[in-house]
Amino acid sequence: MVDTKDIDYDELAARLTDPDVPLPAPTDVATGAEAAARGRALMVHEFGSEEALDKVLRRAGRTRLGEHPKGGSPTVRGRLPEADFAAFKRLEERTGKKQSELVREAVQLLLAEHKIGA
C-alpha cells in the first residue's frame, strides 16, 4: 500500500491536468455482459452476498420525501402555458436545479405567502 505522506499532490495534480501528458493505455477493458458481470461481482464482494446485494437493490430508487420511509411521495401535476414553461426551463438552466426541486421551492414560497406552511 502507498503511504499517502509520500505523495506530492501538487505534482500529481499538475501531471493529471496537463493536456500534454499522455494518458496510459487502458488495460484489461471489459464491455457488455463481461463488464456487467465484473460490476456485479464487485458489488457482491462489497455487500458480502447475493442476498445482501439484492436487498440493497430492492431498496434503491428515488428517495422518498417526508417522514415515512416507505411508499411513494405525494405527487402534484399541472400544466403550464408554453411561455411559462419556457421561462421555467430557463430558470432550471440558470439555477442548475431539477424541475422537482424548483416546484417544491415554489410550493414552499406559496404556502409561506398564504401562511399555511407545514
Query: Is the separation of the CB atoms in 46 and 56 below 8 Å?
Result: no
pLDDT > 70 fraction of the chain, expressed in percent and rounded: 83
Task: Report if residue 103 sits inside a domain.
Answer: yes
Task: Report if residue 91 sits inside a domain.
Answer: yes
Residues 47 and 90 in one domain: no
Least confident of 21-30, 55-64, 105-114: 55-64
Collapse the DSSP code of 108 into the 3-class scheme (helix H, G, I; strand E, B; otherwise coil) and give the result. helix
Q: Give the confidence band of 56 by pLDDT, cuts at 50, 70, 90.
A: confident
pLDDT of residue 63: 64
Task: Report if residue 65 sits inside a domain.
Answer: no
Task: Report if residue 70 sits inside a domain.
Answer: no
> Stretch 55-62: mean pLDDT, rounded?
72
Q: Which residue range(s) make up the domain with 45? A: 7-60
Task: Report if residue 68 sits inside a domain.
Answer: no
> Stretch 73-77: mean pLDDT, rounded?
83
Inform me whether the pLDDT recorded for 104 exceeds 70.
yes
Query: Is the separation of the CB atoms in 72 and 64 below 8 Å?
Result: yes
Q: How many domains does the chain have?
A: 2
pLDDT of residue 24: 83
Contacts of 95 (CB under 8 A, 6+ apart): 102
Q: Give the confidence band of 71 by pLDDT, cuts at 50, 70, 90.
A: low
Q: CA–CA separation, 84 vs 82, rounded Å? A: 5
Residue 75 carries which side chain, given as an amino acid letter?
T
